[in-house]
Amino acid sequence: EMLKEYGDDFSYDLCPRAKIFRRDQASVKVLDSLKYIMRFNDYKNDPYSEGNPCKTICCRNDLKAEKPSPGGCYDTKVTDFNMAGDFVAEA
């Protein structure tokens, strides 16, 4: 229903976040590059973001031009298979 009402922004495959992940996923090789992609927000330059700080992987509601709010991606934690077995993550 949301897809019909609001369009591709509510599509699993076609929302900006999905397009960015699909485009950039091959760059993830090590934990540092995983951290980079999970924190990615280049909304001013990324064509998929359309100038919207929430149409990206790491949404930032506080950067919205109209009605900014304290919500979104402010810290990201990542782990790999071995670290997860030890209940360890990196921030």
pLDDT at 74: 79
Dmax of the chain from CA atoms?
44
Q: What pLDDT, in 10s, does the model give residues 54-82?
A: 999 999 999 999 999 999 887 899 999 99
Four-residue CA torsion sign, 24, 26, 30, 31:
positive
Q: Are 37 and 30 in contact (CB under 8 A)?
A: no
- In three-state secondary structure terms, 77 is coil
Q: What pLDDT, in 10s, does the model give residues 2-61?
A: 889 989 999 999 999 999 999 999 999 999 999 999 999 999 999 999 999 999 999 999
DSSP classification of residue 52: -
